[in-house]
Amino acid sequence: MRIHTYEKLWLAGSFVLIVGFIVTITYGSVGLGITMIDDEADGVSPDEIPSDERFSDPRVEQVGEDEYEVYVVAMTFIFQPDPIEVPANSEVTFYVTSRDVIHGFEVAGTNINSMAIPGQVAELTVEFDEPGTYGIVCNEYCGPQHHTMEGSLVVTPESEFSQTELEVNAPEQVAQGNEIDLTATVSNGLLEARESTVNVTVGSQTTEQSITVDGESSENVSVTVDSDELGPGEHDWTVSVDDQEDTGTITVGNETETTESVPASMGIETASGTVTPMDTAEATRRGAHP
């Protein structure tokens, strides 16, 4: 049987497309690790997200050397956490879920693209070799503000990446002559120890202290300032470490200058009885005296 030349071309083209489709699916599932969401996977109900150990605190977590996990919660109309920051030359696994409706999770310029479905958890593993900033968009219509639902993924150089957290405990007001005790708690979320410098400024006084914080632990830095050296009034304070900073104001007051005011609802005892500030104002308006 004689086959026409055009038919041969169509058959050859169809065969190439079939082979190409099989190769693409195989490469995506084996080479890139792309898989479908498993209905039997360990999902999480939207109502349980606030108490779920994975998603109650959306975050980036180091789980091994150059290995990180990112727990992402999509909701109308934001992603948490935002921004997402990971180091270059690392393997990152994203776990994505939704707490309300179906959303999309796409990192522009990469092969990270998945649906965020309530009750299910999507898992995507990728490697980032170079520093850069990527936009995150929702590519599934989720409501009237769908077009505003976006975030960012920041890949930082390894030497600049940290998971340092800072919490400062400082008084709002002290009496002049008393000492000001300020405590900064520096937490290190990485697995390895990290050396940092804590900078503390209270008014015009500045202190620097170098610390080493073990992996997944914290250290306290305490600073004491004599309020007499600052003088009465409001004084700004700033504490910074790595890329974290906290600020506030301390008021130094003089106890001898503190006066007690009489509330408007209280009365003043006189020989003629109890007179309130309102009575006094009314009597003055009429030209009389209480």
Kindly indicate the confidence band of residue 155, based on its pLDDT and cuts at 50, 70 and 90.
very high
Domain ranges in the chain?
35-160, 164-257, 264-290
CA distance 14 to 235: 77
pLDDT at 134: 95
pLDDT at 33: 56
* pLDDT reading at 192 higher than 60: yes
Equal fold, 35-160 vs 164-257: yes
Which carries the bigger pLDDT value, residue 217 or residue 254?
217
Structure tokens at 111: 């092969």
Structure tokens at 151: 């975030």
pLDDT at 38: 53
Q: Is the Cα torsion angle 107, 110, 115, 118 positive or negative in sign?
A: negative
Assess if CATH 2.60.40.10 describes domain 164-257: yes
Count other C-beta atoms under 10 Å from residue 164's C-beta. Answer: 17
128's enclosing H/E stretch is: strand 122-128
CA distance 57 to 233: 39
* pLDDT reading at 16 higher than 50: yes
Which carries the bigger pLDDT value, residue 284 or residue 32?
32
CA distance 226 to 217: 30
Residue corresponding to tokens 């699916």: 25
Least confident of 22-36, 228-242, 266-280: 266-280
CA distance 242 to 195: 10
CA distance 47 to 142: 19
For 205-214, which contacts have Cβ atoms below 8 Å and span 24 or more sequence positions? 205/229, 205/230, 211/186, 213/164, 213/186, 213/187, 213/188, 214/188
Structure tokens at 282: 């009314």
Is residue 114 within 8 Å of residue 79, measured between CB atoms?
no
Structure tokens at 121: 């958890």
The fold of 35-160 is Immunoglobulin-like (2.60.40)
Give residue 264's Cα distance to chain centre.
45
